[in-house]
Structures are given as C-alpha cells and as structure tokens.
Amino acid sequence: MKYKVNLIIPFAIKNIIEPEILDYKKNFKRVEVNFLKEDPLEIEIKASDSVSLRAVLNTISKLCTIYEKSLDLVNKNE
C-alpha cells in the first residue's frame, strides 16, 4: 500500500453522504474507499503502488465535492 488517507466527516450528514460514496465506489476500482467508524464518520482511502497519486487525489477531490454538496443540503433544510 502506497497511499492511505483518512477523512473525518460529521455524523449529522452520514445519511446524505454515505449513499453517494457507495455509488462512487462502484465506478472507481483502483482506489479503495472504506467506512471505518460511524460517529464521526471516518472514511479511509487506500491505494497500492501501481495507482498514481493523481487517481488518489481525484478520489479525495470527489469525496470533498460530495461532502460540500451534503453540507449545502443540510444548510438548506435548517
């Protein structure tokens, strides 16, 4: 394993963000995305030596975009 990144996400948006991440995982096979903890939601991103840094960064970027959209939805509902 060459890369490992953990993201901590507030539990309040778990129900919004989790389905989108699961959907994203289906389409992206080279980088592993796992849920480690529930509260706060901890997401682990792992990739082997054969995976480029760009692929890992693209995954992080996509997860950040999903996170931002989830926060926007929560803020609109309040």
For residue 60, what are the CA distances in angstroms to 26, 42, 76? Answer: 16, 13, 24
Q: What is the pTM of this model?
A: 0.69
pLDDT digits (tens, 9 = 90+) for 7-26: 787 777 777 788 888 887 77
CATH number of 3-77: 3.30.310.50
Q: Of all helices (H) and strands (E), which one includes residue 3?
A: strand 3-9
The domain locations on the chain are 3-77
The pLDDT assigned to 38 comes to 76
The pLDDT tens digits along the chain (78 residues) read: 567 777 787 777 777 788 888 887 777 677 888 888 877 778 888 888 888 888 888 888 888 888 888 888 777 876
